[in-house]
Chain A
Amino acid sequence: MRAFSFLGLVTALVLTVFAAGELRAQGMGGGDPGRRGYTYGLSPEEIAPGVYVFWGAQEPMTPENGANIVNTGFIVGDESVLAIDTGPTRLYGEEMLATIAKVTDKPVRMAVVTHHHFDHAFGMSVFKKANIPTMMHFGARPLLLRDGSGVLQFMEILVGANWVSRIEVDRPTRVTNRVETFDLGNRKVVVTPFENGHTPGDLVIYDEKTKTLFAGDLAFVGRTPTIPHADIPTWLDQIDIIEAMPWDRLVPGHGPLVTDRAQLTPMADYLRYLDDYVKRAVANGETLADSLDPPPPERFRDLAEIGVEYQRALLKLFRDVERQELDTTVR
């Protein structure tokens, strides 16, 4: 183990100097949070009676925003509160809980984490420490534990160690793969599972009283969908199901409030395009390197983070589609 960590140290040194000096100085050495210090300044918006959202930035994750690029929220009943997602860091989770306590004195009975991606799940340990149960889809738990440490490294490079340092990636206290109903006191909230679309396990949360749906990352609006664990055809079917649900307003995982189902069309269009493009390219014998150019079509260029996310998406899809194709040609 000692050799391993020594090599790691050398690697870190080379990475630090090389990245700072020659490529792009970013986030190393702790990150610069700007004037505010290491706080997010979370301030909830009440989008419907008793339904609150913390809106995240439509930006890349940076040392300035501390990876607050995600929408989280909470629903207040007569007796208790349900939190939706826990944010990207422990600091976020702590601030979220403190802010909820300023809005209501009702206890938070549970945090529902919509899926395992860090921006939604890495504040989870805070809730657990406060004896608040956390719940995920049962398909999300293994991925959280498997990928957690790698993602922490990646976050540290992008937003800096100070935001990231106290994060503990830990298992949820509960998992589910069924429809679950919670009564928050004169207020019924329904949690519905979705499998193997955006990720192996996503949950959406529906407040019957105000017809508000928290769709997690099954819905991206105005921001390029991320697909590292997605099966696109299944996800497209799930978008149809979500469109058919009886909501009046929808809170996407990323992007502004949705009141018109047409706001979900661009993401579906983009996902369909990606899937077709890569399948066609692999069938023609192309490699990823052949396909990095040209850039994505004009109609997608206004999506936030299209540059980075398009490349990420191609990487992942090429790997999957190429593997499937080669599996059919084994000699």
Chain B
Amino acid sequence: MPISRLLIAVTALTIFASGAADAAAPSDPLRSPGWESIVETFFPQSEILFDDRVEVVMPTRVEDAHDVPMAVKLSAELGHVREIVVIAENNPIQQVARLYPHRPLKAIGLKIRLESTTPVRAAALTDDGVWHVGSTAAEVLTPGGCSVPDNRVADEVSDRLGEIAFKTFDRDDGSARLKFRIIHPMQTGFAVSEDGEYIPAYFLEQMRIGDGDGPVVDIESRAAMAPDPIVTIDVPELGQTIRIQARDSQGLEFETKDADEPSM
């Protein structure tokens, strides 16, 4: 058994045990035993506010734990948001993504992996140093989104690796939406293949989105994103020249080939 994995497993057990022993965590509206450790890991010594202005929207029952769509909606009332982190609490990889917006983000759409029934959190850091947390609970009927191989993902890396597709939309509320997909297996490192070997972790770790007016958002991604991740962002405006760049955990870089607006 690889040491690192044993450590992770033991840590998970410890956290679980301490969380269960101290059922306090009164501030968490979902009363999850894991919340305290989330605070220690992600928001140490920070002010936290459970806030309706950060809304997590997703299906309540999940049968395909490798590919769960979710959205985070951010109210304009929050003011300037410096950073957003999306967390699947009971995952072996808890952090799904961390986003650094260069323009106000109204909404984010992601596809994620869920290991088991879990709270899913989104936290937005405002300029006053407060993390505004929105939560929802997802019931996972087929546990193993991180630790069971996705039988739709081929063992060998696809020759489409790094292929980027995107489309922009004008939304009814006047905002602009960019939807993009990058072909990538997003292997977690926790899944065992049919021959009994761990499939090594291999995932996109950075995405940079920009247009003719400059950067839009930088995203630190993790393998808790679904294979062939699809990301949607809503911003007040998008320029004509969308540029999407990504780098994976082996250092391969991918970017959109041409800079023109796709025809709609």
Contacts and interface: CB of A to CB of B under 8 A. Distances in A.
B143 A146 contact: no
Contacts of B24: none
Contact of B232 (A13, A158, A287, A315): A287
A22 B179 CA distance: 34
B92 A7 contact: yes
A315 B181 contact: no
A11 B169 contact: no
Contacts of B185: none
Contact of A4 (B140, B141, B147): B147
B109 interface: yes
Contact of A10 (B12, B139, B168, B169): B12
Contacts of B58: 289
B126 interface: no
Contacts of A6: 1, 6, 9
B130 interface: no
Contact of A153 (B142, B171, B256): B142
A331 B166 contact: yes
Nearest to A18: B117
B13 interface: yes
A319 interface: yes
A19 interface: yes
B141 A14 contact: no
B59 A288 contact: yes
A264 B263 CA distance: 41
A32 to B, nearest CB: 19
A285 interface: yes
Given A7-B92, A22-B137, A331 B32 contact: no
B262 A311 contact: no
Nearest to A6: B9
A329 B165 contact: yes
Interface string A288-331: 11101000000000000000100110010011001101110111
Interface in B140-176: 140-144, 147-148, 151, 163-169, 171
Closest 7 CB pairs of A and B: A285-B169, A289-B71, A326-B165, A289-B57, A288-B69, A15-B116, A154-B141
Interface of A: 1-4, 6-8, 10-15, 17-19, 21-24, 146, 150-151, 153-154, 157-158, 228, 284-285, 287-290, 292, 308, 311-312, 315, 318-319, 322-323, 325-327, 329-331
15 contacts: A7-B9, A10-B12, A11-B116, A14-B90, A18-B117, A22-B30, A150-B142, A285-B169, A289-B70, A289-B71, A311-B61, A315-B69, A331-B166, A331-B257, A331-B262
Given A17-B20, A17-B33, A312-B63, 4 more contacts: A288-B59, A289-B70, A326-B167, A329-B166
